[in-house]
Structure 1
Amino acid sequence: MTDETELPGQVALLWGLRETVRRGRKPSLTVADIARAAVEVADAEGLAAVSMAKVAARLGNSTMALYRYVKSKDELLLLMSDEAMAERPDLPDGLDWRTALTLWTQGLLAGLRRHPWTAQIPISGPPVGPNNLWWFDRALRALGDTGLDEGDKVGVVMGLITFLHGRLRLGIELSAGYAENPEAFGGQYGRALTRVADAHRYPALNKVIAAGVFEGDVGYDEEADGAFGLGLYLDGVAAFIERRTVGPE
């Protein structure tokens, strides 16, 4: 095992390899306990409600006891973002890469939607926690028989992660907006564009308006929009695989 001092602090924390500050009686908590309790608070009350004091109270400990394991609120958020991905569905082997990545995306989105507050946590770097790495590994495995080299596989997966987080964050906010004012996504929007979008200044947009795309109850279907976007991304991956492995004719 690599010596803890050689690891970045965040990696050591996420993998339970950072030595706990020892004061007083024998420690009764683990970093995993703290992460699970913080997720429970966020699930019940939202991310804004999470504090070291509230998590400590949920665990029946003092706030100072938590600081023996977690140094700051930022570290607590880091633990929570990895813990939110702890649910691991069955992703069978032997699937073609496209089916495997589709199931992977659906599984990860379903898990994150159970913890919608994850969309509010800043993403400051590549995946390093045990749960994040499990998902990263499974996506890379899905590309195992494509003929792509290892660097290309990483590029494809990181692009998919970028798409997924954008879909998650926009989907949560747009769904909330649609629930509050459905008309703003349909006829009201179309009528407003008709009045302000000058045909000379916005010619392409006016073709869309003239085609009636924004007429009536357009609505917002997060699942349909997401499936369409994922399909486009995977179509691009398919073309990339062909170009990399077959080459130009």
Structure 2
Amino acid sequence: MDDEHPPLPRALALLWQQGGATPRPRGLSRERIVEVAIELADADGLAALSMGRLAQRLGCGTMSLYRHIANKDELVTFMLSTATGAPPVLPRADGWRGAISAWAEGLWEVYHRHPWVLSATAAGPPADPGQLGWLDRGLTALAGTGLPEREKMAGVMAVLHYVRGAAALDIAAGESDTIFPQLLRQVVDATRFPAVAAALDAGVFDGDTDRLADFRSGLTAVVDGIAARVRGAGHPRHPGDA
């Protein structure tokens, strides 16, 4: 066995398989199983998804699923590659800042459309076509910066982690708009947590705020950090990169 090239897990091998695809069977298929699994996860979360429940929704026996998918871990790999969809087309007129911002907002939409993706992607690095497509598009967004590849990757990771964190908080807040601020007001002591108390008094945690505007404000701060690296390294600037 070649130690430098270990075999791909079966799910990834199937996703990356090129050509020679067998005809899709009538009725039950891997594509149909994944489609319904995504619907169930969207409705009730990934933890509530089981092979038994999936079989029940599909109207088949549980063992029938295993002819197409080996286990739940493999199923989640297929789901991730499908649910993320195609990354957004990057705008050209606004330079790299507009491009990375469009990429970030596309991720924000994916996480809100499929909240379970946030927990599923925490299991490991992206290696499927769907997630790698997003990573490639993010790196492409920073092509106009002139930054070295390692710094581009660092910039993309900074934006990615910001979007993940902001989306997770926003989704959680949306599920308990009226509960969370009231809970904080009961436990936050201004002497012990002065900064949190100031944010609470300013209505930061209230549900009537413009969440997308808040997200974009934080995103601007992250992108400003990348811009500072670009200026500090003396790389060429392009229209819209101010």
Secondary structure at the aligned position of 2:57 is classed as: helix
Q: Indicate the larger mover: 161-170 or 58-67.
A: 58-67
What displacement does 1:87 show?
A: 4.9
The one-letter code matched in structure 2 to 1:215 is: D
Change (3 A) 1:72 1:241: same
Question: TM-score when scaled to structure 2?
Answer: 0.77
Residue 152 of structure 1 aligns with which residue? Answer: 151
Give the paired residue count: 224
Secondary structure at the aligned position of 1:61 is classed as: coil
Change (3 A) 1:48 1:126: closer
Change (3 A) 1:206 1:80: same
1:231 alignment partner, one of 220, 223, 236: 220
1:185-235 Cα offsets, whole Å, 9 max, x none, are: 5xx26x8423x52xxxxxxx54785xx554364525432332222111111
Residue 14 of structure 1 aligns with which residue? Answer: 15
What displacement does 1:245 show?
A: 3.6
The one-letter code matched in structure 2 to 1:143 is: L
Distance in 2 between residues matched to 1:51 and 1:119, nearest whole Å: 18
Higher RCO structure, 1 or 2 (CA under 8 Å, sep 6+)? 2
Question: TM-score when scaled to structure 1?
Answer: 0.75
Residue 48 of structure 2 aligns with which residue? Answer: 49
Change (3 A) 1:107 1:64: same
What displacement does 1:236 show?
A: 0.6
Secondary structure at the aligned position of 2:173 is classed as: helix
Please list every run of 5 or more consecutive structure 1 residues that lacks an aligned counterpart in the other structure. 21-25, 198-204
Residue 193 of structure 1 aligns with which residue? Answer: 189
Distance in 1 between residues matched to 2:175 and 2:123, nearest whole Å: 26
Q: Is the 8 A contact 1:147 1:241 kept in 2?
A: yes
What displacement does 1:122 show?
A: 5.1
Q: Is the 8 A contact 2:86 2:134 kept in 1?
A: no
Q: Is the 8 A contact 1:16 1:31 kept in 2?
A: no
RMSD of Structure 2 on Structure 1 (CA): 3.1
Report % sequence identity.
Answer: 35
Distance in 1 between residues matched to 2:173 and 2:113, nearest whole Å: 17
Please list every run of 5 or more consecutive structure 2 residues that lacks an aligned counterpart in the other structure. 237-242
Distance in 2 between residues matched to 1:117 and 1:35, nearest whole Å: 14
Q: Is the 8 A contact 2:91 2:102 kept in 1?
A: no
